Amino acid sequence: MSYRIAIASSSGEAVDQHFGQAKNFLIYDVLEDKVEFVEDREVRLNTDDAAHSDSNLETLASLLHDCKAVFVLKIGQKATLYLYAKGITSFAVNYSLNRIFTTLLKRQNGRIKVI
């Protein structure tokens, strides 16, 4: 079983961006025994609207449409619920990408079951 995730990271080393302020999302496929980088998706929001306006939330949800989960430093309740309604689970974490990948691979093998 494989799935796709998005990570709000400007460094590629740690989760360091808030959901509504992220400049980009790093996209990864989580496979049975490895994690593969797919692409770096740039965020282009309507700057005339508030970060969590319905228009900008729809833009972000569309950008992440193929992801099962998104990892961000912070995310508000409105954005969390909006993504959840679109089938995307959000996680507010202050972790390194390595820690996320290691944890997800353990979950894949049935030792930890969260996602």
Q: Each residue of 64-90: pLDDT tens digit?
A: 999 999 999 999 999 999 999 999 999
Q: What pTM does this model have?
A: 0.88
3-state percent helix, strand, coil for the chain, nearest multiple of 5: 30, 25, 45
Domain count, the chain: 1
Confidence of residue 115 (pLDDT cuts 50, 70, 90): very low
Query: Which domain, by its residues, includes 29?
Result: 3-108
Establish if 114 belongs to a structural domain. no
Establish if 115 belongs to a structural domain. no
Establish if 13 belongs to a structural domain. yes
Compare 15 and 56 and report the one with higher pLDDT. 15
Establish if 98 belongs to a structural domain. yes
Establish if 93 belongs to a structural domain. yes
Which CATH number characterizes residue 69's domain?
Answer: 3.30.420.130
**Chain-centroid distance, C-alpha 69:** 5
Establish if 40 belongs to a structural domain. yes
Q: What is the CA radius of gyration of the chain?
A: 14
Confidence of residue 109 (pLDDT cuts 50, 70, 90): low
Establish if 113 belongs to a structural domain. no
Q: How many CB atoms lie within 10 A of CB 57?
A: 23
